[in-house]
Amino acid sequence: MTEPASTSILSLPPTALAEYQAWLVTIKQRIVSVRLRMALAASRELIQFYWDLGALIAHKQAQSQWGDKLIAQLSADLQKAFPEIKGLSASNLKYCLRFFQCYTGGQGASDPDAATAAIGQQPVDHLPWGIRTNTRITLGMRDGIKVKCGDFVGFLGSAKAVTGGWIK
C-alpha cells in the first residue's frame, strides 16, 4: 500500500489553497462551537448541582434546629471526603442556599425533590457560577436602596446575557 504523496499547502494552486483555507476556517469554527457547548453543559450541570444542594440544605434546616452549624459541619465533612473539589466551603454552601432561596422566594424547603426541577427552565442555569453569584450579591444594595431577592433585576440580565451572547 502506497501512501499519498505529501504536498505542501503553500505549493497548491491559488484556488485549492483558498478552498483549503475556507475548509480550515469551518473546522476552527466547529471547534470553538463545540468547546462553548461543552463549557455551557458543564456550567449547567454545576448550576443544577448547586441548586439541588441549596434545596437539600434548605430542607434539612427546615427539619432541624441546626441552623448555620449545619452548613459548617456539612462543609467540613464534604471537604474531608472530596479534598480535590473546590466549592465546598461553608461560604459557597451558603451561596447555594441563598441561590435556591432567592429563586424560590424562600419556598420549596419542605419538598426538595419538587423544587429541584424549577431551575432548568431559567436562563440563569446557562451562566457560570461565579457570574451568577456575583450578580446576586451585588443586588443587595443599589443607590442606597435594598434590593430584595424577589425583585431579581439580575434575572433579566441573565436572560439577555445568555440569549444575547454576552457570556463567552
Say how far apart CA 147 and CA 135 lie, in whole Å: 12
pLDDT at 12: 81
pLDDT at 23: 95
pLDDT per 10-residue tile (average), the chain, 168 residues: 62 88 96 94 89 91 78 96 94 91 72 55 56 47 46 42 45
Q: How many CB atoms lie within 10 A of CB 72?
A: 15
Minimal CA–CA distance to 124: which of 167, 97, 92, 155? 155
Helix (H, G, I), strand (E, B) or coil at 145: strand
The predicted model scores a pTM of 0.60
Say how far apart CA 143 and CA 5 lie, in whole Å: 70
Separation in Å, CA 104 to CA 50, 58, 64, 120: 14, 11, 20, 13
pLDDT at 89: 95
Minimal CA–CA distance to 108: which of 52, 46, 69? 52
Say how far apart CA 161 and CA 49 lie, in whole Å: 21
